[in-house]
Structure 1
Amino acid sequence: MITIPTGLDPDLLRSFVLVAEGGSVTRAAMRVGRTQSAVSMQMRRLEELLGQPLLLRGPKGLTPTPHGIWLLDRARRLLAMHDEIFTNFRTPEISGHIRLGCPDDYALLWLPQILAGFAEAHPAAEVEVVCLPSSALLTCFDKGELDITLFSAGSEAPGVQAEALWSGPLRWMGPAARPVHLMRPLPLVLCHTGCAWRGAATQALNRAGMPWRMAYSSASQTGTHAVVLAGLGVTVGLSVAMPAGVRLLGTEDGMPELPVLDIALLMHPGAAAEALASHIRAGFRDQPGAGARAA
């Protein structure tokens, strides 16, 4: 059970979580709509209330102290409960059709829990899920064909400030039963041209001077995994969504490092979109790497 000291405002915890995740008071202030000095005062107030230092400034920005790490985990859970209670009693009844875009790469990983929670809170709303590559989703969003969309940051958002949700490394993946990563040119199994993951993979190989060929392509991650499981090439993806029979490949296998992937959110104004966005934020909030970088 979470014990909260008297007078500990959830707004203090919300600002602390944003600062700890983003490593910056400035970015946190932009997210909560306050000045930088106001958020700094909130952090000092929180440390005074708890009697412990919570943040340390280092070469990469602000990082949580051991007490801050302990608080961060519990603050995320408390805020998720707080937002759920508030939304249930204060959010107007949402109905109608909401168009949600999400890349296939992580739809199965995060959407089931998010959509289940949204349906429970807003049973009269209907959500249409559109699974396309990030570049296509951004085009649809720009045309007004989607109300809200998730996308892999690295694709250019169409003139709108995106909201960072999650950050984590891309990883090379190959079949566990066959060392195809030793073949030259390296057989790649990736999505279509324009995919941010494909661009990251080929750029990393080019920088390392490693010859490669596009052996297979697929419009979905399920398709690329099927080809990898057949022992016909290597692909890239998130380690949290790796099927059995596929193993991670790293620098110890001779593979070049891949960049960090950012998952971000874009939303057109509207009560329905904001209600769904609240559930999406809550769904990502408990994940390691949530909101780690600005999109």
Structure 2
Amino acid sequence: MPAPLDIDQLQTFVAIVDTGSFTRAADKVFKTQSAVSMQMRRLEERVGKTLFVRDGRLNRLSEDGERMLGYARRIIRLNNETIAAFDDQQLEGSIRIGTPDDYADRYMPGIIARFAKTNPNVELYIECEPSVELSARLNRGELDVALVTHNPRERTSEVVRTEPLYWVTSFNHTVHEDTVVPLAVGRRSCNWRNLACTALDSAGRDYQVLFTSWSATVVASAVLSGLAVSLLPECAVRPGMRILSPADGFPSLEPAQIGLMKRPGAPTALVNAICGHIAASLDNITPAGAEDNAKNLGQGASSRRDNRSRADGAVLPAW
């Protein structure tokens, strides 16, 4: 019978991919860089395949490394679920979570599924509203945790994901070439609506807000129908959408950030458990502006994740 794979080696392997380098992975798994390198050599010897290849001064995943990544994540997840299933100190109770509808559509299915498997005695209440409303409800004690668009000028949240923010239009239409650009955005209090207007003003582009809605589905539909231009984070670009660049007359934008908010006084164990699941689920894309070695190392994996995100039909985040 073949010897089993080493969970610790697989965790280090995933950490290298997620952080983008052996050095940062060593910090994450609390090992020296030489120990991390040794673990990867032993893992490669165990499977008989080369998982990383040199590209100049950088390391990147080989084709076999990309294959291994999916298996490694599944093995680690199943290992954690098995341990949790026999934990006599399992969490019990209920927790109230708030999220915009688009985050619920894109992220919550996986988060809920994994959390339910490891914490079967915890009841989750999920409510969908815009970030500004979620922040207010959390402050009133009506929610325990809120997944929001990070906006330090209006609310304090812990950033758990960062990704590029793009202008998008329909792939099959040329509405972005109109003299007056039609926009599909959130309501007047929407931070990204203000960002879009300010950016177009700075670029000297005329525009008109034609579609206003808190619903991500409505905004995305306006874009896909060729009726308007809007803003989307990288993972939410859907089939049929085209990303616009400065060459198209649309200025570059600051990265989008997703944050977590916790209600003071909420059950600590439950809040920490669900926040840990959320953060682990979202913290799988190299932040914008990361070092070149992170981009090269995660290029294959990131490409697959982006394609999976598009296939999932992710839509415009709420503001």
Query: What TM-score results when the alignment is normalised by the length of structure 1?
Result: 0.71
1:193-212 aligned within 5 A: 193=188, 195=190, 197-212=192-207
- The AA in structure 2 aligned to 1:128 is Y
Quickly say closer, same or farther: Cα 1:64–1:89, change in 2 above 3 A.
farther
Counterparts of 1:63 and 1:186 in 2: how far apart (Å)?
43
Question: Does 2:10 align with 1:13?
Answer: yes
Equivalent residue for 1:84, pick from 81, 96, 117: 81
Match of 2:317 in 1: none
- The AA in structure 2 aligned to 1:64 is R
Partner-residue secondary structure (3-state), 2:89:
coil
Match of 1:247 in 2: 241
Partner-residue secondary structure (3-state), 1:112:
helix
Structure with bigger RCO (C-alpha 8 Å, 6+ apart): 2
Partner-residue secondary structure (3-state), 2:107:
helix
- The AA in structure 1 aligned to 2:41 is E
Counterparts of 2:140 and 2:21 in 1: how far apart (Å)?
33
Question: Does 2:47 align with 1:64?
Answer: no
Counterparts of 1:39 and 1:158 in 2: how far apart (Å)?
38
Quickly say closer, same or farther: Cα 1:58–1:5, change in 2 above 3 A.
farther
Contact 2:158–2:260 (Cα < 8 Å) also in 1? no
- CA drift at 1:146: 3.5
Q: Which runs of 5+ in 1 are unaligned?
A: none
- The AA in structure 1 aligned to 2:204 is G
- The AA in structure 2 aligned to 1:40 is Q
- CA drift at 1:234: 1.7
Counterparts of 1:117 and 1:173 in 2: how far apart (Å)?
32
- CA drift at 1:63: 5.0
Partner-residue secondary structure (3-state), 2:76:
helix
Quickly say closer, same or farther: Cα 1:88–1:266, change in 2 above 3 A.
farther
Aligned residues between the structures: 279
Partner-residue secondary structure (3-state), 1:93:
coil
- CA drift at 1:118: 3.4
Contact 1:169–1:261 (Cα < 8 Å) also in 2? yes
Contact 2:149–2:259 (Cα < 8 Å) also in 1? yes
Contact 1:137–1:149 (Cα < 8 Å) also in 2? yes
Question: Does 2:222 align with 1:222?
Answer: no
Contact 1:101–1:149 (Cα < 8 Å) also in 2? yes
- CA drift at 1:190: 0.7
Q: Which runs of 5+ in 2 are unaligned?
A: 291-319
Quickly say closer, same or farther: Cα 1:71–1:27, change in 2 above 3 A.
same
Partner-residue secondary structure (3-state), 2:123:
strand
Match of 1:271 in 2: 269
Partner-residue secondary structure (3-state), 2:86:
helix
CA-atom RMSD in angstroms: 4.1
Contact 2:22–2:37 (Cα < 8 Å) also in 1? no
Quickly say closer, same or farther: Cα 1:205–1:14, change in 2 above 3 A.
farther
1:1-295 aligned within 5 A: 8=6, 10-24=7-21, 28=25, 34=30, 38-49=31-42, 50-51=44-45, 54=52, 64-66=60-62, 68-90=65-87, 92-138=89-135, 140-141=137-138, 145-153=142-150, 155=152, 161-164=158-161, 167-175=162-170, 178-193=173-188, 195=190, 197-228=192-223, 232-238=227-233, 241=236, 247-251=241-245, 254-266=249-261, 270-280=268-278, 283-284=281-282, 290-293=284-287
- CA drift at 1:156: 6.1
- The AA in structure 2 aligned to 1:250 is L
Query: What TM-score results when the alignment is normalised by the length of structure 2?
Result: 0.66
Counterparts of 1:157 and 1:39 in 2: how far apart (Å)?
40
Q: Deviations over 1:15-51 (max 9, x none)?
A: 432332222567556655x3xxx24244122123135
- The AA in structure 1 aligned to 2:216 is Q
Match of 2:296 in 1: none
Partner-residue secondary structure (3-state), 1:47:
helix
